[in-house]
Amino acid sequence: MKKKAVIFDMDGLMFDTQCIYDKAFDEIAMKLFRFEMSREMHLALMGRSGQDMIDTAARYLPEGADAEAFIHRTFDLVAELVKTELRARPGLDTILTYLSDKGYPIGLASGSDRKIVNSNLESAGIGHYFAATLCGDEVILGKPHPEGYIKAAAMIGYRPEDCYVLEDSPNGILAAYRAGCAPIMVPNDVEPDQAMRDMCAGIYDSLSDVAAAMESGEL
């Protein structure tokens, strides 16, 4: 059934920031602990936020490592890197313009801190499209917990079941599905497995393709 509102993830979905996060994680892990992160650790952290991200990092870091300091230092470095390295994913302007023209309320639920979200939206000149934004430092439980998407839906005045969620990561898809939203995946760094496909209302190569699917009635 066609939904009434749309909630966006940010990192990896709107902007090609996963490579920035990976770069920052690697640099801070090496600087603080002389520790080389594995691909498994990068994937485990993808899409998470808040205390959940800290707890996840602690499971992989060397014993006794300060996981909270690791995450905070990484976010500080990301905030610096995005000033010069931020790149929008293909179709972002297309889908935001389409949704705005069609009158869809648009929300954002990101795992990034408020300072990073505000900086990214300002740099891209797209903050005016969003009726509400919710950030990783404003929730207790990060993705894959559904808290963020439940709250974001309420902030734009809709029930979760009335909302599409656009996501790129498995943790984000799971969070949206658990919230009762209809997840739409635009894969970036991770291709969907069968479990992800079963949860999604659709999987598309680009944000422009999502807009086309909505216009055609496929979504």
66 plus 115 within the same structural domain: no
Per the model's pLDDT, the better-predicted residue between 73 and 142 turns out to be 73
Q: Is the pLDDT of residue 2 over 80?
A: yes
107 and 148, same domain (yes or no): yes
Q: What's the pLDDT tens digit per position in 54-72?
A: 999 999 999 999 999 999 9
CATH number at residue 58: 1.10.150
Dihedral of the alpha carbons of 151, 155, 159, 162, in degrees to the nearest 10: -110
Task: Indicate the Cα dihedral angle 140, 141, 142, 146, nearest 10°.
Answer: -120
Domain range for 163 is: 5-16+87-216
pLDDT at 50: 79
Tell me the three state secondary structure of residue 191: coil
Q: Is the peptide bond before 146 cis (omega within 30 degrees of 0)?
A: no
What pLDDT score does 187 carry?
Answer: 94
Q: Judge if 132 and 59 occupy the same domain.
A: no
Per-residue confidence (pLDDT) for residue 70, from 0 to 100:
97
The count of structural domains within the chain is 2
Q: Are residues 184 and 77 in the same domain?
A: no
The answer on pLDDT for 47 being more than 80 is no
pLDDT at 27 over 90: yes
Give the residue from 59, 85, 111 where a domain finishes.
Answer: 85
46 — pLDDT class (breaks 50, 70, 90): confident
96 and 79 fall within a common domain: no
51 plus 62 within the same structural domain: yes
Where is pLDDT greater, at 48 or 15? 15
184-208: per-residue pLDDT in tens?
999 998 899 999 999 999 999 999 9
Same domain, 11 and 108: yes
pTM: 0.85
Do 41 and 81 fall within a single domain? yes
Per-residue confidence (pLDDT) for residue 186, from 0 to 100: 97
Are 156 and 58 contained in the same domain? no
Judgement on whether residues 163 and 77 belong to the same structural domain of the protein: no
Give the chain's mean pLDDT: 94
- Shared-domain flag, residues 116 and 208: yes
Contact present, 199 and 179 (Cβ < 8 Å): no
Among 54, 85, 116, residue at a domain's last position: 85
* pLDDT at residue 82, as a whole number: 86
Residues 175 and 93 in one domain: yes
Average of per-residue pLDDT across 6-14: 96
Tens digit of pLDDT for each residue in 94-132?
A: 999 999 999 999 999 998 889 889 989 998 999 999 999
The CATH number given to whatever domain includes residue 111 is 3.40.50.1000
Domain-ending residue, one of 56, 85, 114? 85
DSSP class per residue in 47-95? T--HHHHHHHHHHHSPTT--HHHHHHHHHHHHHHHHHHH--BPTTHHHH
